[in-house]
Amino acid sequence: MERIALLKNLTEAFGISGYEEDVLNILKKNFVGQDTLTKDRIGSIIAKKVGKSEKPKIMFAAHMDEVGFMVKEITKEGFIKFIPIGGWWVGNLPGLRVKIKTKKGEYIPGVIGSKPIHELSPEERKNLPKVEDLYIDVGATKNFNVKEKFGIKPGDPVVPETEFIPLGNSDLYMAKAWDDRVGCGLLIELLNNLTATEHPNTVYLAGTVQEEVGLRGAKTAAYAIAPDIGFALDVSICRDTPGNDAEAVEKLGGGVGILIYDRTMIPHSKLKDFVCELAEQNNIPYHFTSIKGGYDTGSIHLTNFGVPCLALGVPSRYVHSGATIISLEDYENVLNLITLIVKNLDTETLQQII
């Protein structure tokens, strides 16, 4: 599938944590024909690509889930109270267009509502609203019973309603769920690159579930794979917008984001050095970055006796909101780097790393 069409399909797919089926089906379609294709009991999918050697076993993980919401309850007036799934800043919520997926598979459009500014007291205007005071409006009126008309129930998943679009700068694309459909796209394109290339190892491509609520799918997938080396493919943070350091290296067009710290893992230093040397030898731009959140490698690196791991990111603006922006140039640089990693990471190199 052509890249833009693939990324559009992935980002527009519906899939909060625990409801990743639509994304899984896209990966499954693109993984068909590999040596083995398995699915664990909580929903992660793993494709195995055998090279010239069974080892080292290299795991690339990208999570299929996106941040969103879950229906908590429906008020007697027909408004929908919700639970945030994943990390949300409440300031991004009022006015956000969303859609709810019912048990029947129907999509119900709505908007997150709040008290209008005209009705806020001077004191209320000083503070952000509380999530419990917000609600989703799907068209409730006195004579329109939302429960009966739509069949919406507690537990139904909700995602932002955002179209995948190119911006005026043709290298930049805006969509929901780049976190982490960008990683899912990289898994598919890495596999395409390896199909016609010999590599001295065996590669496992894992589309994981429930990363946004605790790196859960990565834990079960890594247990199934027992990798020798692990990588998370995800977004990294841009710091190139107003209010940040004007000289920040974490920017659109900044190349591969190499994580030196997150709250779940400090990367393996020798693996990091190996990847940086590869990037430098092949003129692939990169920068070091950190984040207060975590990546799938936070679970992978604790598997069995330990797994050297590194997280690689595509720099992204406005992560964990209804619309995020990435650069296709950065995406291409990450793809080129991970392809080189697979071509060069043999048993001898593994021994030097560990």
Rounded CA separation 44/229 (Å): 19
For residue 140, pLDDT over 90 is answered with no
According to the CATH classification, is domain 68-160 in 2.60.120.560?
no
Q: Are 218 and 63 in contact (CB under 8 A)?
A: yes
Asked if residues 79 and 63 have their Cβ atoms less than 8 Å apart, the reply is no
User: What would the pLDDT profile of 153-163 be if each residue is shown by its tens digit?
Assistant: 999 999 999 99
Domain with CATH 2.40.30.40 in the chain: 68-160
Residue intervals in the chain for CATH 3.40.630.10: 3-66+176-353
- Are 61 and 70 in contact by the 8 Å Cβ rule? The answer is no
Cα distance between residue 112 and residue 322, in whole Å: 12
Per CATH, the number for 3-66+176-353 is 3.40.630.10
pLDDT band of residue 145 (cuts 50, 70, 90) is confident
Q: Which residues have a catalytic role annotated?
A: 211
Model confidence, pTM:
0.95
Contact 45, 28 (CB under 8 A): yes
**195-228: buried (b, 16+ CB within 10 Å) or exposed (e) per residue?**
eeeebbbbbbbbbbbbbbbebbbbbbbbebbebb
Residues 6+ apart with CB under 8 A from 112: 82, 93, 94, 95, 96, 98, 134, 135, 136, 137
Half-sphere exposure for 221 (CA within 13 Å, toward CB): 37
What's residue 268's pLDDT? 96
Interacting residues of 9 by C-beta distance below 8 A, sequence separation 6+:
1, 26
Torsion of CA 119, 124, 130, 135, to 10 degrees: 0
Is the predicted pLDDT of residue 246 greater than 80, yes or no?
no
What span, in angstroms and rounded, lies between the C-alpha atoms of 227 and 247?
Answer: 38
**Whole-number Å distance between alpha carbons of 314 and 97:** 26
> What whole-number percentage of the chain has pLDDT above 90?
88
Q: For the segment 212-222, what is each residue's pLDDT rounded down to a tens digit? A: 999 999 999 99
Residue with tokens 């005026």: 168
